[in-house]
């Protein structure tokens, strides 16, 4: 970039000598103004701000020192470099100029070599300052991005009830989200993408929704993109009826600006730590009712409850059902379906809308096994028209057929993605570790659940292939990342601990000393130690 220079002198000959005596353009400078008075110079500076000002000191009406004082006041945030040109060797002028913050002096008659040395020095200072500003800006952007990732990770775990109450309270206060503990409502926004929409486009559209929420000034406590793609928005201490109207407005804006249908599941009002998770679950259930109620709707949890008739499912072990689906235990899954259908028949309710709802209910349980792969039912080829499939149910026998076929499609997916060899298990385990290194929940069981295998099998094959335990490997990776952060950032110890998924800074320090051989303080300040 060219350094912009303004020349101020009431004598034209002096201005010409300065301009022509040095090849400004060749040396990376641009003369943007030659002013004959302080007032003219100020007016020019208001149009285009210079980096360097060369000003005579002895001028009528407004002398050089008066001009510098006015310019510094008006442009105090611009970091302009001022150089005084004077034929006077008067100490008083120099003293006043220094007090004002003038960078340098040039004596008349101007020596071109002195002029070159002065402006070259100032140019280097300006370029260095600009580079430092860029580096600071880039570092801030990087820290902001990392902080947003940390916040989003916390919010993902918070809504799914995977954090302790103490951690939740501390972090809600730290991030300024404490009002989530007040009367909160969760809105779960699901865009109905076209089949051909890729993941990059989906992410952009989800971010567009968040931007739209800001533009129409809905003022949520927090909004973020859930890992399954929905936009999760929490409001606190709002009038519920007004919120419903706001969601209808948002739906209309999405329809008209993003040109796609959208469904919004809206929870009831909840308070406290447990209420945050409960509101999220209610918003998910309300959203699932779109399969029956139709597309492009705002659906309250209350609307969902209208379809949830009384049926005793207390003897259905849903955890074991989900385990059976993800591990492709077909006979076990069929037993659960038969038990489920038995309860449906015993209820005596043959209303088609209710049967459709109960079909969605059990398939939503099976769908949970797809979430860990970032998939939903409609991502499976045979279920891509899931809404139409549910809508076609015309009898209890047809209902059972659709349930069996849909669960079979889910199990077929798991068979295709299930690791078949020890090395494949290790590859998937390493991928999970790298992805969730920041997560305090990362453990043998956590990794095993993500890749659909048992703790004991994973532990055995990991030790065989990697020659160390999985927990030891996780600790090593966390320490390596800690060293990287210590070398490249000024983060505090507790912040680094958090970044690598260790809640307790004291335990983190112990692990670091054991792994590296020195304390964190000794590592950061080797000379002191």
Domain interval for residue 243: 180-299
Stretch 125-142: mean pLDDT: 85
What's 244's domain CATH number? 3.30.70.270
Residue 123: closest CA among 24, 14, 19: 24
More reliable by pLDDT, 24 or 458: 24
Query: What backbone torsions phi and psi does residue 85 show, to the nearest 5 degrees?
Result: -110, 125
> Is it the case that residue 266 has pLDDT exceeding 90?
yes
> Is it the case that residue 479 has pLDDT exceeding 90?
yes
pLDDT recorded at residue 208: 94
Query: 529: pLDDT confidence band, cut at 50, 70 and 90?
Result: very low
Is the N-terminal amide bond of 109 cis, ω within 30° of 0? yes
In a domain, 59, yes or no: yes
Could you give the CA distance from residue 526 to residue 88 in angstroms, rounded to a whole number? 53
In a domain, 153, yes or no: no
* Residues 39, 119 within the same domain: yes
- How many alpha carbons lie under 13 Å from residue 46 in its C-beta half-sphere? 9
Could you give the CA distance from residue 85 to residue 93 in angstroms, rounded to a whole number? 11
End-of-domain residue from the set 358, 388, 417: 417
Query: 144: pLDDT confidence band, cut at 50, 70 and 90?
Result: low
End-of-domain residue from the set 387, 417, 447: 417
Average pLDDT over all residues of the chain: 87
* Residues 443, 367 within the same domain: no
Interacting residues of 97 by C-beta distance below 8 A, sequence separation 6+:
57, 65, 68, 84, 105
In a domain, 310, yes or no: no
Question: Using an 8 Å Cβ cutoff, are 209 and 254 in contact?
Answer: yes
Instruction: Dig out the tokens for 265 from the structure.
Output: 């599941």
* Residues 81, 124 within the same domain: yes
pLDDT recorded at residue 105: 84
* Residues 466, 508 within the same domain: yes
In a domain, 169, yes or no: no
Beta-carbon count within 10 A of 257 CB: 12
In a domain, 174, yes or no: no
pLDDT-wise least confident of 6-15, 98-107, 387-396, 497-506? 98-107
What's 437's domain CATH number? 1.10.10.60
pLDDT recorded at residue 242: 94
In a domain, 43, yes or no: yes
* Residues 326, 387 within the same domain: yes
Could you give the CA distance from residue 200 to residue 295 in angstroms, rounded to a whole number? 24
Which residues in 56-72 are b (16+ Cβ under 10 Å) and which e?
A: bbbbeebbbbebbbebe
In a domain, 150, yes or no: no
What's 75's domain CATH number? 3.40.50.2300
Could you give the CA distance from residue 355 to residue 268 in angstroms, rounded to a whole number? 25
Handedness of CA 341, 345, 348, 350 (dihedral sign): positive
Domains in the chain: how many in total?
4
User: What is the pTM assigned to this prediction?
Assistant: 0.49
Residue 229: closest CA among 170, 318, 156, 178: 156
End-of-domain residue from the set 365, 399, 417: 417
């Amino acid at each position: 970039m060219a350094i912009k220079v303004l020349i101020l002198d009431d004598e034209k000959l002096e201005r010409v000598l300065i301009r022509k005596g040095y090849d400004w353009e060749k040396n990376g400078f641009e003369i943007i103004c030659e002013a004959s008075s302080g007032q003219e110079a100020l007016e020019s500076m208001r149009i285009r701000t210079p980096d360097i000002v060369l000003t005579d000191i002895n001028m009528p009406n407004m002398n050089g020192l008066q001009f510098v004082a006015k310019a510094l006041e008006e442009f105090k945030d611009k970091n302009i470099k001022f150089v005084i040109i004077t034929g006077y060797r008067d100490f008083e002028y120099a003293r006043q100029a220094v007090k004002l913050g003038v960078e340098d002096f040039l004596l008349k008659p101007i020596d071109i070599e002195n002029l070159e040395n002065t402006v070259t020095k100032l140019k280097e200072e300006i370029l260095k300052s600009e580079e430092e500003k860029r580096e600071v800006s880039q570092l801030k952007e990087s820290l902001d991005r990392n902080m947003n990732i940390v916040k989003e990770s916390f919010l993902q775990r918070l809504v799914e009830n995977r954090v302790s109450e103490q951690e939740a309270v501390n972090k809600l206060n730290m991030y300024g989200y404490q009002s989530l503990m007040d009367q909160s409502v969760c809105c779960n926004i699901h865009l109905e993408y076209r089949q051909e929409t890729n993941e990059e486009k989906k992410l952009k559209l989800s971010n567009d929704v968040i931007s739209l929420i800001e533009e129409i000034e809905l003022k949520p406590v927090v909004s973020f993109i859930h890992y399954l793609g929905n936009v999760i928005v929490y409001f606190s201490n709002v009038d519920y009826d007004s919120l419903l109207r706001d969601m209808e407005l948002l739906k209309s804006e999405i329809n008209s600006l993003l040109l796609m249908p959208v469904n919004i599941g809206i929870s009831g009002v909840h308070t406290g730590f447990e209420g945050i998770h409960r509101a999220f679950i209610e918003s998910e259930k309300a959203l699932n009712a779109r399969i029956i109620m139709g597309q492009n709707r705002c659906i309250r949890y209350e609307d969902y409850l209208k379809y949830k008739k009384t049926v005793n499912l207390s003897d259905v072990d849903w955890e074991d059902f989900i385990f059976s689906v993800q591990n492709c235990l077909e006979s076990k899954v069929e037993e659960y379906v038969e038990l489920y259908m038995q309860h449906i028949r015993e209820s005596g309710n043959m209303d088609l809308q209710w049967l459709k709802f109960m079909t969605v209910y059990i398939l939503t349980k099976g769908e949970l096994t797809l979430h860990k792969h970032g998939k939903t039912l409609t991502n499976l080829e045979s279920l891509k028209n899931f809404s139409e499939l549910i809508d076609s149910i015309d009898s209890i026998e047809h209902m059972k057929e659709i349930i069996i076929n849909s669960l079979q499609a889910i199990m077929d997916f798991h068979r295709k993605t299930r690791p078949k060899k020890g090395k494949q298990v290790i590859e998937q385990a390493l991928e999970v570790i790298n992805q969730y290194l920041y997560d305090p929940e990362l453990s043998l069981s956590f990794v095993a659940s993500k890749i659909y295998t048992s703790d004991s099998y994973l532990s055995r094959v990991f030790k065989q292939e990697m020659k160390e335990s999985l927990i030891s490997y996780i600790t090593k990776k966390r320490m390596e990342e800690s060293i990287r952060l210590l070398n490249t950032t000024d983060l505090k110890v507790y912040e680094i601990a958090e970044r690598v998924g260790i809640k307790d800074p004291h335990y983190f320090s112990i692990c670091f000393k054991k792994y590296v051989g020195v304390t964190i303080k000794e590592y950061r300040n080797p000379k002191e130690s």
